[in-house]
Structure 1
Amino acid sequence: MATAADSGDGTPDWDYAPSSRPAAGPETRTLANNNRPVSGKNLEAGPPFTKDSAGVWQANRTNVTLRNTVTDADGDASNLTFQVYTTNAEGTPKDQVQLTDPDTGKPAAYGVVVSDFVTSGGRASVTLRYGDLKANTTYAFRTSAFDGGLYETNWSSWAKFHTRGRAVNITLPEPNKDAAAVNQDAHQNPQKIAQPSMAVVAPTVPPVARSAEEGWNCGTLNKRTGIQPCSRLVPDNSKATRDALTNGTKGTAALPSLVDWCANLLDSHIKRYEACIGSFTYEYQGIVVKDGKPTGEILDASWAVGQEVKLAGNSSTFTQQLTLVPVSIDPKFVSVTLNVEFDCLLADRCSNGPQSWDGALEWVGADPLSHSAVGKIDHTWNAQNNADTLDLSTKITAYSPVANPAATRWQADGAQIRCDKISSTTPGCTFHKYIPTWVMNFAKTPPAVAHAWLIQSKLPTHPGSKAANKPLFYLPAASKNAPGRDPDDNRKVICPDGWAATYGNPDATAVTEISSTDKASCDEFAYASTYNSGGMPTSMGGMNEVDTGNDCVQTYATRVKQGEWHLYDDIRGAAPKWTEKCGRSAMSGWINSTSMGGAFSSGFSTKYRMLDKDPYWVAFPQFAHCDASKVTVACTVPKP
């Protein structure tokens, strides 16, 4: 029996006759056969077209596909009209959802959408337009059949489905186009390196009452005095030694410093252009020998030793400084003189300038601790090659009127220097084993920073994470990298030209008030200019190669109201698995390009003379309070 007719005015009761609102076309009754088509009982929603324990279909997106079978006793091809309702708390239909015509993008007639015709017994389906449904919401739907002439008398039974919730919801402020550039130097913390290694220095004489394994290097016995000299360098990070290197013998006035952050720092550390090599104690001993055997009497002298090196990003000449502060000198030595030799190893690559000392290198008299000595020397790379590595080595020889010389040489492998004319035609030198930290400009481009933080924090590749020990590896221009790969070719794999306009989430917001021509763009992380990029082929050293950007986590940045932006996962597809290797986000082109562009090239890669495959970290200080371990990554930045 047919249900009540509807004139098409207003909103009908939910049980109106399908033919009274002929969304699929007018009913004609001109066909030879006159059997009405019938909706099946196989209503499904998805993908992935699976139900929960309550029988509700679970859709992993909001642009849901609805389907049902349809039959016609006459064998006519038929279609289905699909109608969607919101639901009450108890799950019953509440209000009809106005659906969008998927072909025109305009409101569909009568608020329903119609499938294509299918053969009798076939499955008809429609995919709802993005924006018609909300995330994390339960709906009900039903169908009615039409064979081109006749409508099904009644609607089918109801079936319920639930759209997935968001996996990402990061709340952000407005971009500030006038935000100051990030001071990258402020984020470069000292990196600890191994203490220097000691080298044997001739003459090497078997020590009397001393073990060579303890680092001692001994000279020849003074036959006149019966004293054998020995010396060694001992790492010493005690407070007394650090205080001595800061304030000298008087303990009141600070000694001159070449690297300001060396003061009171223990052990050996480097930055990209500066090094603090240790704090040490240089020991010189005279072992009293009689009849070929030690008497047990030992003359002691020692100095606190600190070494600092300062390089220049725009010069092939650099400086090192050595500080010597006497700690104890046995008066029986009469006096002790130190001879210091600064060497830039591989003489064909590096030349040494003259030494200059503030304070004599001889300690003598009743008060041998009366002064400290601070020495400087310049070294110059010859700049004949495009790049060279240099090692600094220092040798101290001590001697006194009663004891022959004994010498100790050391070298800090972790402070190896690399000089180049590749990153810039102007030569410069860095401590290339230092891993610098890049900090994006959050105040200027919040969505781009949020995207990079999300991918670094959530994916197992953790690109650029210092905590996970997963640095990014820099890929410079094709002419400057080993495989000759243009970084833009990486970008085209993840973000093909025109992708954002054609396939990106349509809710990505442009900032036309900042740039009048701004439009949606595609942002990827890890960056295209890295070996970590999903677009970098494995055959060229790529670490995370994917086939296309479709394999990445999909997000977009949108302004929900003035002053409030959100980074969302793209609800048009399945939620991220968080096993992906990369991230792709639709966002403002101005935000995307400004977040890196010149800021990275001039303010970081050139500033720190980054070369092919150099590692670096990416840090997000504004996100320290955010927890990426939750199922839904939700955070407000900056912290409210």
Structure 2
Amino acid sequence: PNPDPTAAPSSRPAAGPEKNVRAGNRPVSGKNPQAGPSTSQAGGVWQVSSTETVLSNTVTDKDNDEANLTFEVYTTDANGKPKTQVKLDDSEFGVLVSDFVPSGKTAKVTVDYGILKPGVTYAFHTSAYDGGLYETEWSPWAKLKIRDRAVDIKLPEPDKNAAKVNLEEFQEPLEAQRTVDDPSLRKTRPGPDENCSDLGNNKIGCLEVGRPDELTKKQRATVEQRLRSVRADSDLVSWCTDTSPGKDWIKRTEACMKRATPIHARIYSKLPNGQTILTGDGTFASVIQMKLDPQSTSFLQEWTLFPIDFADFEGKQTEWGPLTLTPKFSCSPDCSTSSPTWRGFPTWSTTGADLHVAVATFNHTVSITAPSGISKVAMKWEWSARTPDTVKELDQGDLGTSTPDLDVRCDKIAAPAKPGCVFPAYKPTWVMNFKKYPAAVAHGWLIQSKLPNHPGSKSAGKPMKFLPLADKNEHGRDPQKNRDVICPKESDGKSWASVHGNPDTTLLPEIKPTDTSSCDEFAYASTYNSAGMPSALDGLNEVTSGNTCVQTYATRVKQGEWHLYDDSRKAAPTWKEVCGRSAMSGWINSGSMAGFSGTFSAAGKYHLLDKDEYWVRFPEFEHCDASKATVTCTVPKP
């Protein structure tokens, strides 16, 4: 069971029986035993980069007979001394015997995967045999250490009944920009000038967008409180009230615009001497909300007006109105706008006693006529005002245009019967179902976090770029061709994973009786980030083979405990790779992207079209540290 390592080699004649039928010289092991694949020694120990280890030594025979070598491996104790023999095969002696080689040549054996363990130091020695005689003593000991694992992510058991991910929980509002006149270039209280209009009856009016900081903290709080109570469940955008004032915000199908808070309506009177005096000043908080429909080209818009104060030229609150505000919102091209409907009438007494909120609702409809099946629509927001003693409306209120971030895109590419609209400037976030498919999620997180190209990482500013089906992308590239580069099929039709994947990959026949080993690639094949996408077709990370990717596999070490490991049959990752390839259960791999096509594609809620960008987030892994050379983590966080 554990022979004396110093006993004569002939005491365990694995190479064959010793014969005394003739006289001759005994063969001799060389003095240069090596272990590989390896390029270095540290402290006299071979640093081996693979658990599929090659052991070698030279052998000589003075009679010029061919000879072979017997290789015997032991674990080592704390002092580096041989301790316990490692059974290298199922033979009686548990050793490996090389082929015969000419005298002076090198004899080699390969230790199969799974016998030598990562991170463990071993000692080996050899004995020579020429077909009749053994050398009398073993060669000097040589030491080797199998490299440590580079990846060890501990995972739970897959839950086949786990609920779907609510993707809306991960769509965070994005601050957006639109074209708005910069009020910081004007005085706080300008007099009438060429930007104002003659209203008749010796009246001049000015409509202006104010600075957000014109409102005090108390006023802003009051506005938000009043708007929250008024809008309540009828609010177009449920998250609008919780966003910061003075900024515009969007999601993929919703917008909350507070950049135009506040707005001013000012009336000046002309004196006989030609001078003007401010006779009325109305200040309003203004919020615009938009709600697009991913299954229709009609969408809604609301303009909420909340009066903050009214004053005349002496600072008093007397009636100089009533004041009526009229929105003149529009869209173009190929877009029509309905007349507004109101909740609360848009006319206010200017004594300061009337501070009711008024909300105008518009319906916009886009006609998609372009051969591309895509229509891009710009919005324009204007308003006018008048009082009873003005001959005409003051028509210079300019809330800006939607360019660049609030332009609307409608398409009928994937579902002509159900076209839809989105804000293409917003990059939606995709989240995989960790509870159901933990290994696939772990692989995606590892590659995104560790590699320098960080595919899909929002924090790194490296979005995924969507590649739809061949007839929907400009290059006519089938995403399956990307997958075939990373996860090629064998000539007999077998999958890469079933032939070349790590043999310890765990399958789930209890969930899917026909489950087979599958190859999971990251970045996804349906992206320009895929390492299988040619650079000539705008691919971002082209490689010629999945062999250059980080190699991992998913295995169950005991019921309820899985691990994602790097494949120790290969050299450790350099972490300079641009892709990942992992062997795992086909049920896990194929199911891990469930819901993507129905949610993110042109037919889904987020209407991703060719080269649209999106983020990939792994919330369960946000406590893990990918900065070290060896990546270890337990998920979920203990």
Flag whether TM exceeds 0.5 (same fold).
Answer: yes
Separation in 2 of the partners of 1:274 and 1:240?
28
Q: CA deviation at 1:495?
A: 1.0
Q: Residue 197 of structure 2: which of 215, 220, 229 is its match?
A: 220
1:437-458: per-residue Cα shift (whole Å, max 9, x none)? 1111011011111111111111
CA pair 407-171 structure 1, distance change in 2 beyond 3 A: same
Give the letter aligned to residue 340 of structure 1: P
Separation in 1 of the partners of 2:181 and 2:433?
44
User: Does the aligned pair in 1 maintain the 2:167–2:430 contact within 8 Å?
Assistant: yes
User: Does the aligned pair in 2 maintain the 1:241–1:304 contact within 8 Å?
Assistant: no
CA pair 332-293 structure 1, distance change in 2 beyond 3 A: farther
Q: Does residue 283 of structure 2 align to residue 302 of structure 1?
A: yes
What are the within-5 Å matches in structure 2 for residues 49-448 of structure 1?
49-52=39-42, 54-100=43-89, 107-198=90-181, 210=190, 218-221=195-198, 224-225=201-202, 227-236=203-212, 239=217, 242-243=220-221, 246=224, 248=226, 253-254=230-231, 256-266=234-244, 267-279=247-259, 280-290=261-271, 294=275, 297=278, 299-330=280-311, 331=318, 333-346=320-333, 349-364=334-349, 366-367=351-352, 369-385=354-370, 386-402=373-389, 405-409=394-398, 410-413=400-403, 414-425=405-416, 426-448=418-440
Q: CA deviation at 1:208?
A: 13
Separation in 1 of the partners of 2:626 and 2:101?
46
Task: State the SS of the aligned residue for 1:170.
Answer: strand
CA pair 570-208 structure 1, distance change in 2 beyond 3 A: closer
Separation in 1 of the partners of 2:211 and 2:348?
22
Match of 1:571 in 2: 568
Separation in 1 of the partners of 2:278 and 2:95?
104
Match of 2:627 in 1: 629
Task: State the SS of the aligned residue for 1:260.
Answer: coil
Q: Residue 527 of structure 1: which of 519, 524, 529 is its match?
A: 524
Q: CA deviation at 1:462?
A: 0.9
Match of 2:636 in 1: 638
Separation in 2 of the partners of 1:244 and 1:293?
40
User: Does the aligned pair in 2 maintain the 1:482–1:612 contact within 8 Å?
Assistant: yes
CA pair 12-339 structure 1, distance change in 2 beyond 3 A: closer
Give the letter aligned to residue 16 of structure 2: G
Q: CA deviation at 1:529?
A: 0.9
Q: Does residue 564 of structure 2 align to residue 583 of structure 1?
A: no
Q: CA deviation at 1:616?
A: 0.9
Q: Does residue 598 of structure 2 align to residue 602 of structure 1?
A: yes
CA pair 352-56 structure 1, distance change in 2 beyond 3 A: same
1:136-179: per-residue Cα shift (whole Å, max 9, x none)? 11110011122333322221110111111111111111000010
Give the letter aligned to residue 269 of structure 1: W
CA pair 573-108 structure 1, distance change in 2 beyond 3 A: farther
What are the within-5 Å matches in structure 2 for residues 474-553 of structure 1?
474-497=466-489, 498-553=495-550
User: Does the aligned pair in 2 maintain the 1:328–1:369 contact within 8 Å?
Assistant: no
Separation in 1 of the partners of 2:272 and 2:39?
97
Q: CA deviation at 1:481?
A: 1.0
Give the letter aligned to residue 359 of structure 1: G
User: Does the aligned pair in 2 maintain the 1:242–1:263 contact within 8 Å?
Assistant: no
Give the letter aligned to residue 43 of structure 1: P
Task: State the SS of the aligned residue for 1:556.
Answer: strand
CA pair 30-408 structure 1, distance change in 2 beyond 3 A: farther
CA pair 351-621 structure 1, distance change in 2 beyond 3 A: same
CA RMSD, aligned part only? 2.6
Task: State the SS of the aligned residue for 1:65.
Answer: strand
1:11-68: per-residue Cα shift (whole Å, max 9, x none)? 432123323433223345678x83222111011112224111x211111222221111
User: Does the aligned pair in 2 maintain the 1:208–1:287 contact within 8 Å?
Assistant: no
Q: Residue 25 of structure 2: which of 20, 35, 38 is its match?
A: 35
Separation in 2 of the partners of 1:126 and 1:475?
47
Bigger drift between 400-409 and 90-99 goes to 400-409
Separation in 1 of the partners of 2:47 and 2:344?
81
Separation in 1 of the partners of 2:189 and 2:367?
46
User: Does the aligned pair in 2 maintain the 1:235–1:278 contact within 8 Å?
Assistant: no
CA pair 306-223 structure 1, distance change in 2 beyond 3 A: closer
Give the letter aligned to residue 253 of structure 2: Y
CA pair 500-631 structure 1, distance change in 2 beyond 3 A: same
Separation in 1 of the partners of 2:480 and 2:230?
56
Give the letter aligned to residue 71 of structure 1: T
Task: State the SS of the aligned residue for 1:412.
Answer: strand
1:331-363: per-residue Cα shift (whole Å, max 9, x none)? 4643322221110121xx212223211222222
Q: CA deviation at 1:582?
A: 0.7
User: Does the aligned pair in 2 maintain the 1:245–1:306 contact within 8 Å?
Assistant: no
Q: Does residue 4 of structure 2 align to residue 13 of structure 1?
A: yes
User: Does the aligned pair in 2 maintain the 1:208–1:228 contact within 8 Å?
Assistant: no
User: Does the aligned pair in 1 maintain the 2:308–2:355 contact within 8 Å?
Assistant: no
1:260-290: per-residue Cα shift (whole Å, max 9, x none)? 1111422211111111012511112234555
Tell me the number of residue pairs that the alignment of Structure 1 and Structure 2 aligns. 610
CA pair 164-593 structure 1, distance change in 2 beyond 3 A: same
CA pair 240-272 structure 1, distance change in 2 beyond 3 A: farther
Match of 1:7 in 2: none
> Which structure 2 segments of 5+ residues have no match?
312-317, 490-494
Q: CA deviation at 1:376?
A: 0.6
Match of 2:314 in 1: none
CA pair 495-163 structure 1, distance change in 2 beyond 3 A: same
> Which structure 1 segments of 5+ residues have no match?
1-9, 101-106, 201-205
Q: CA deviation at 1:294?
A: 4.8
1:388-417: per-residue Cα shift (whole Å, max 9, x none)? 111111110123345562412212321111
Separation in 2 of the partners of 1:217 and 1:322?
27
Task: State the SS of the aligned residue for 1:318.
Answer: strand
Task: State the SS of the aligned residue for 1:611.
Answer: coil
Match of 1:104 in 2: none
Match of 1:615 in 2: 613
Task: Compute the TM-score of the two structures, normalised by the length of structure 2.
Answer: 0.90
Percent identical across equivalent pairs? 49
Separation in 2 of the partners of 1:137 and 1:470?
38
Task: Compute the TM-score of the two structures, normalised by the length of structure 1.
Answer: 0.90
User: Does the aligned pair in 1 maintain the 2:197–2:396 contact within 8 Å?
Assistant: no
Q: CA deviation at 1:246?
A: 4.6
Bigger drift between 494-503 and 236-245 goes to 236-245
Give the letter aligned to residue 303 of structure 1: F
Separation in 1 of the partners of 2:357 and 2:599?
40
Separation in 1 of the partners of 2:476 and 2:304?
46
Give the letter aligned to residue 219 of structure 1: C
User: Does the aligned pair in 2 maintain the 1:217–1:408 contact within 8 Å?
Assistant: no
